[in-house]
Amino acid sequence: MVVSKGNISGLFSGHFGTPGDILILISAPNWALFSILSSWGLRKYQSTQMMFFVMTIGWIFTSILFISGGGFSDLGHLTWSSFFGVGFLGIFCSGLAYIAWYDGLQALPASQIGAFLYVEPLVAVVVAWAILGESILVITLAAGVIILLGVRLVQITKKINSPQE
């Protein structure tokens, strides 16, 4: 509902609003798979070590794409503001966020923490509204309520099904 802006049949016919909508759509399953794989790694490594591994692998792949795509010619066009933005994304939006995510994976099973992934499209819509001035449709708000209720339901169900101490 969030990605299709209420046109659910458009999802099945391949008609999406924007490339950002497609990225939002594939984000949740991508993170679910990533979380399952990461939970296996967390059995052997600490969250900071896992974050280091993920960041290093990401840096290697990004560097290969950057170099092979001739990205060096674009470096001269970057401003200090751009460098600050990249640094902020790297440190806060990636580095610290990964550590928090891995700490959560160590405390909760991937199936339970994975429910929080579905909040991501809602956050993306709110940020797009606040920063980019995009509109929020009533159907998007309804979908956001459903997302929040679903996440809450998963958390309540987990408490009900877990043994009492």
CB 28 within 8 A of CB 120: yes
- Tell me the CB-side half-sphere exposure of residue 2, using CA atoms within 13 A: 26
Q: pLDDT digits over 127-163, tens only?
A: 888 888 888 888 888 888 888 888 788 777 655 655 5
Helices (H), the chain: 8-13, 19-41, 47-68, 80-88, 97-107, 110-113, 120-132, 138-161
Tell me the per-residue pLDDT of 33-49, one tens digit each, with 9 for 90 and over. 887 888 888 888 887 78
At 107, give phi and psi (nearest 5°).
-90, -30
Query: Which amino acid is residue 29, in one-letter code?
Result: P
Q: What is the pLDDT of residue 165?
A: 45
Number of C-beta neighbours around residue 144 at 10 A: 19
Summarised one tens digit per residue, pLDDT across range 75-89 is 777 788 888 888 888
